[in-house]
Amino acid sequence: MKQLPLIVFLTVLLYGIGGNLSAQQPLKIGSQAPEITLPSITGEQKSLSSMKGNLVLIDFWASWCAPCIQEQPELKRLYAKYHRPGSQSKNFEIFAVSLDSKRDAWQRAITKLGLPWTQVSDLKFWASPVAKTYQLEGIPFNAIIDEKGSIIALNLHGKELDQFLSDKVGK
Amino acid sequence: MKKITQIITVLSLLVSFTFVQGQTKQEPWSSSQLMPPKQLADRIQQAKTLMPLIVNIGPQAVIKGSVDIGPADEKANLKKLETLLSKEDKNREVVLYCGCCPFDRCPNIRPAFSQIKKMGFKNAKLLDIPKNIKTDWIDKDYPVQ
Interatomic CA distance for residues A101 and A61, integer angstroms: 12
Chain-chain contact of A137 with B101 (C-beta, under 8 angstroms): no
Amino acid identity at A151: I
Mind listing the pLDDT tens digit for each residue in A88-137? 778 999 999 999 999 999 999 999 999 999 999 999 999 999 999 999 99
Chain-chain contact of A126 with B134 (C-beta, under 8 angstroms): yes
* Closest residue in B to A123 (Cα–Cα): B60
A65, A100, A126: residue with CB nearest B138: A126
Mind listing the pLDDT tens digit for each residue in A129-159? 999 999 999 999 999 999 999 999 999 999 9
Shortest Cα–Cα distance, A19 to chain B (Å):
22
Q: Give the pLDDT band of residue A19 (cuts 50, 70, 90).
A: very low
Tell me if ipTM is over 0.85: no
Provide φ and ψ at A61, rounded to 5°: -150, -175
Domain ranges of chain B: 30-138
Answer whether residue B20 shows pLDDT above 70: no
Give the orientation angle of helix A66-82 with respect to helix A158-169, to 10 degrees. Answer: 20
Shortest Cα–Cα distance, A167 to chain B (Å):
31
- Whether the CB of B140 is below 8 Å from some CB of chain A: the reply is no
Residue B19 has what pLDDT?
47
Interatomic CA distance for residues A48 and A33, integer angstroms: 9
Residues of B with Cβ-Cβ distance to A137 under 8 angstroms:
131, 134-135
* Closest residue in A to B58 (Cα–Cα): A64
Amino acid identity at B80: K
Chains A, B: CB contacts under 8 A, how many?
Answer: 42
Shortest Cα–Cα distance, A11 to chain B (Å):
32
Interface test with A, best of B101, B106, B108, B142 (most A CBs within 10 A): B101
Mind listing the pLDDT tens digit for each residue in A73-97? 999 999 999 998 887 778 999 999 9
pTM of the entire predicted model: 0.80
The CA radius of gyration of chain B, in Å to the nearest whole number, is 20
Chain-chain contact of B101 with A138 (C-beta, under 8 angstroms): yes
Residues of A with Cβ-Cβ distance to B70 under 8 angstroms:
102
Answer whether residue B42 shows pLDDT above 80: yes
Chain-chain contact of B134 with A138 (C-beta, under 8 angstroms): yes
Residue B24 has what pLDDT?
54
Interatomic CA distance for residues B35 and B53, integer angstroms: 13
Residues of B with Cβ-Cβ distance to A136 under 8 angstroms:
134
Output the CA torsion sign for B45, B51, B57, B60.
positive
CATH number of B30-138: 3.40.250.10
| Structural domains of chain A, ranges and CATH numbers in brackets | 31-168 (3.40.30.10)
